[in-house]
Amino acid sequence: MTHDMQYNVSTLSDLDIYLFKEGNHTKLYEKFGAHTMQIEGVDGVHFAVWAPNAQSVSVRGDFNDYAADRHPLKLREDDSGIWEGFIEGVEQGLTYKYHIVSRFHHIVHDKSDPFAFFSEKPSKSASRIWSVEGFEWQDEAWMKARHKCNAHDSPVSVYEMHLGSWKRKVEEENRYLTYRELAVELLAYLKQMHYTHVEFMPLTEYPYFGSWGYQVTGYFSATARFGEPQDLMYLIDVLHQNGFGVIMDWVPSHFAVDMHGLVNFDGTALYEHEDPQKGFHPEWGSYIFNYGRNEVKSFLISSAMFWLDKYHIDGIRVDAVASMLYLNYARKEGEWTPNVNGGNENLEAVAFLRKLNESLYGEFSDIMMIAEESTAWPMVTRPTSIGGLGFGFKWNMGWMHDTLKYMSFDPIHRQHHHHQLTFSLWYAFDEHFMLPLSHDEVVHMKGSLINKMPGDTNQKFANLRAMYAYMMAHPGKKLLFMGGDIAQYSEWNFEESIDWHLLEDPYHANLQKMLSDLNLLYRNERALYQHDEKHIGFEWIDDGDYQHNCISFMRKSDLPDETVYVACNFADETWENYRIGVPYDGEYVELFNSQCSEYEGWNIGNPLSLQALKEPMHGREYSVTLTLPPLGVIYLKRVL
């Protein structure tokens, strides 16, 4: 088989070049990288790579014994800095790298393809010739209706997971599951637990397993650790057919320092910012993209678009947005330079994020763009047309920090920290929030969720059940990291399976059952989600009862009869004859009780219906008298 070069073919039109240069090309993956094609009856592969400061670029691969000089690419004559060429006889699956000689100091690098659709399994680092076309999707019904599942007025309960440590085959050298095995086992688990979505920690190819996927080299390449690209498509397709949305973590904030990747790509700072104050991340030891460079903006927006387009991803959670927004993020005085206005905002990154959201929502209006943003930056989830960043949702890190801090206190001290329980409601409707109990809270010696709770085993579980029940009733979409729903004792370890054996213990098994029931209840009660981001969906009954460590509130839909009444007791003491004001007379019944014996609770509550009496309380005409279980949360509903 010959592997000759032909230069008279290009995938790039003049319009492509124009859009690329001005930062408005959002589907570069259709043009760049390695594309199998037939030219004049000859099968082969067209290669295109951006390396404006290269003296020469050639393709080394399995097909030429990795010779550096056999297949040079040709530089386009339009100042785009793009090198391209067609090599006949190259087949799917073969590996390759670009051999780049820089004009500066004749630096020589062998680089993996920034636009590769597939790569060798790490620790190997070559790109693979691969087509992502031809998969026969069966998820048409889901794609047609998914706008209903991703909307602000829909129930969204997300299971966050790391594919490499969810379940391991201990009997097979502790290997992780493949994409296709997950299509069976993960599907069964999501069904059992009644989640609505699953969120995968990054699946873009990354060299170091210990980075959990957050140090990326392949922005268009599904990691080869779990199978081939079509295997990941199969997993997503199966989840879609069964009604589960798929969110993927995506990392435009920084990239890996590994020399086969994007760094110093053509002997210059091409993808990264040349100024280390803007181009190197001191906390993570990684490189930061140059958001002011049009070609880099096109590259990143195209990457996000690729996963939505080719993999039918339903949502993208953008990692580390705060690190992008601020020039002084993780930097001391003197380690950063103010912007042209004298401020600490990274204006180029702000403009990039707005363009990203406009581009993706412009193409796919029914997706979710989620910002992991931990500061008080205004209008993260407001339209770009009024000065917002244009995201659909934002992680509510304030709620998470305050809640975990409050829950960590012994109940006897909680009365002095009551504001940490109520403060989130002052800003709960400023953004479209998601309440995250994510992987970040159970690593780096922070302890597992169950071990953040005070007391003996009985009390720890009661506290954790109460916290989950409070979370489910609090305005905002929900996210829980794997292991949290079985009350795993140990911190998350990316090299080990979740401690599934704990489910042999009734405490763990029945906490899991409670979360399954809660997810189902949440999905079935519109009041718990319809007006998540609107004041009309929430009303305090009593936010001031700090002496008893209690709060009570209503969650409301557009139908008064659907209102859910929530009473939380974070004291380690039963409150009998506890009275709360309600707006209507009639009977009220317990929908849910976190201290129910079914969940290994203490079986204290209100098994019989409660009669509202015309005794005004909390500014309302009627009130009900109930038993509030210790370290317990109950939901009530009026019987019609």
Catalytic residues: 319, 372
3-class state of residue 75 by DSSP: strand
572, 600 contact by CB (below 8 A): no
Cβ–Cβ under 8 Å, residues 28 and 111: no
- Answer for the pair 237, 312: CB distance below 8 angstroms, yes or no: yes
Q: Residue 438: which residues within 8 A CB-CB, separation 6 or more?
A: 160, 395, 400, 479, 481
Q: Any bridge partners for residue 369, and if so which?
A: 316
> Of 563, 439, 464, whose CA–CA distance to 514 is shortest?
464
Distance separating alpha carbons of residues 95 and 66, to the nearest angstrom: 9
Q: Which residues contact 232 (CB under 8 A, 6 or more apart)?
A: 179, 203, 222, 226, 311
Residue 207 in contact with residue 215, Cβ under 8 Å?
yes
Per the structure block, which two tokens stand in for 439?
């992987």
Residue with tokens 């990747």: 261
Q: Where are the beta strands (DSSP E) in 449-522?
A: 477-481
Rounded CA gap, 496 and 397, in Å?
27
State the Cα–Cα distance between residues 478 and 195, nearest whole angstrom.
10
Residues whose CB is less than 8 angstroms from the CB of residue 1 and which lie 6 or more positions away in sequence, other chains included = 63, 89
Task: List the one residue out of 68, 78, 75, 74 whose CA is nearest residue 100.
Answer: 68
Please tell me the total number of residues recorded for the chain in this structure. Answer: 640
Q: Facing residues of 56 across strands?
A: 101
> Which residue in this structure is represented by tokens 């989950």?
468
Amino acid symbol at 438: S
**Residue 431: what residue type?**
E
- The DSSP annotation for 334-388 comes to TSS---TTSSSB-HHHHHHHHHHHHHHHHH-TTSEEEE---S--TTTTS-GGGT-
Q: At 410, list the tokens.
A: 């012994």
**Dist. CA 154–CA 157, nearest whole Å:** 10
Close Cβ partners of 356 (under 8 Å, ≥ 6 residues apart): 252, 300, 301, 304, 318, 369, 390
Report, in this order, helix, strand and coil percent for the chain, each rounded to 5.
30, 25, 45
Is the CB of residue 494 less than 8 Å from the CB of residue 176?
A: no
* Separation of alpha carbons 352 and 365, rounded Å: 19
Rounded Cα distance between 616 and 249, Å, is: 49
CA-CA distance, 198 to 314, in Å (whole number)?
10
Residue 584 · residue 596 · CB < 8 Å:
no
Contacts of 13 by beta carbon, 8 Å cutoff, 6+ apart? none
